[in-house]
Amino acid sequence: MALALFIFTGLILQASPCAGKLMSDSTLKVRLTDEMKTAMRAKDSVRLGTLRFLLAAIKQKEVDERRELTDQDITAIIERQVKQRRESIAAFEQAGRADALEQERAELSVLQEFLPAAADEAEIEAVVDEALAALAAEGATGPSAMGKAMALIKPRLAGRADMSQVSRLVSARLKGS
């Protein structure tokens, strides 16, 4: 492994065999960057702003944790952004702010493009039923099993279902049991 040192105006730079190569860049991050470039070329300001904001959130998380994020980590960030947009949409609807409402809806649709394919209602119910059956076999029933149930369900539906709706479904099923 050849390692060379270069001295340039008082700065010492190290050149390594892997210099210039991307470290384990996630495919989702690359896709987001490419989509941002496409939005720049198309002069699509809403899409560009949304993607820049998302990439900034990803970069911030990478800096905070001092590691490259995986696609799963990036999907979790996108989910948080989608949840924020949904909450903003609800707030703007109550306040009657149509201008901000349309902006948030446009941003939400951009973000949803990068989430995995949504699970249909039957699949969500099947996952919930399976988790509740597993908990019932362990003897955990009733509202006190909510946390355990969501811990089993979340990894299977993360990014593919609105977890607040899943939570309401689990809660209703647990109260009924």
What CATH number has the domain bearing residue 39?
Answer: 1.10.1510.10
Query: Whole-angstrom Cα distance, residue 8 to residue 13?
Result: 8
149 shares a domain with 85:
no
pLDDT in tens, 50-95: 999 999 999 999 999 999 999 989 999 999 999 999 999 999 999 9
129 shares a domain with 108:
no
Give me 166's structure tokens.
């899943």
Query: Whole-angstrom Cα distance, residue 40 to residue 2?
Result: 40
107 shares a domain with 32:
yes
72 shares a domain with 132:
no
Is residue 17 assigned to a domain? no
136 shares a domain with 106:
no
* Domain span at 91: 27-112
3-class SS letters over the chain: CCCEEEEECCEEEEECCCCCCCCCCCHHHHHHHHHHHHHHHHCCHHHHHHHHHHHHHHHHHHHHHCCCCCHHHHHHHHHHHHHHHHHHHHHHHHHCCHHHHHHHHHHHHHHHCCCCCCCCHHHHHHHHHHHHHHHHHHCCCCHHHHHHHHHHHHHHHCCCCCHHHHHHHHHHHHHHC
- The CATH number linked to 154 is 1.10.10.410
Is residue 3 assigned to a domain? no
113: nearest Cα among 71, 73, 75, 145: 75
pLDDT score for 45: 97
Which of these three, 82, 112, 142, is where a domain ends?
A: 112
Give me 108's structure tokens.
């939400």
Which of these three, 112, 136, 156, is where a domain ends?
A: 112
CB-based contacts of 146, cutoff 8 Å, min separation 6: 167, 170, 171, 174
71 shares a domain with 45:
yes
Question: At residue 7, what are phi and psi to the nearest 5 degrees?
Answer: -110, 120
78 shares a domain with 133:
no
Number of domains in the chain: 2
105 shares a domain with 126:
no
CB-based contacts of 33, cutoff 8 Å, min separation 6: 55
Is residue 6 assigned to a domain? no
pTM more than 0.85: no
169 shares a domain with 100:
no
Is residue 10 assigned to a domain? no
42 pLDDT band, cuts 50/70/90, is very high
Is residue 13 assigned to a domain? no
25 pLDDT band, cuts 50/70/90, is low
158 shares a domain with 83:
no
Is residue 15 assigned to a domain? no
Which of these three, 112, 133, 166, is where a domain ends?
A: 112
175 pLDDT band, cuts 50/70/90, is confident
149: nearest Cα among 122, 120, 114, 177: 177
77 shares a domain with 54:
yes
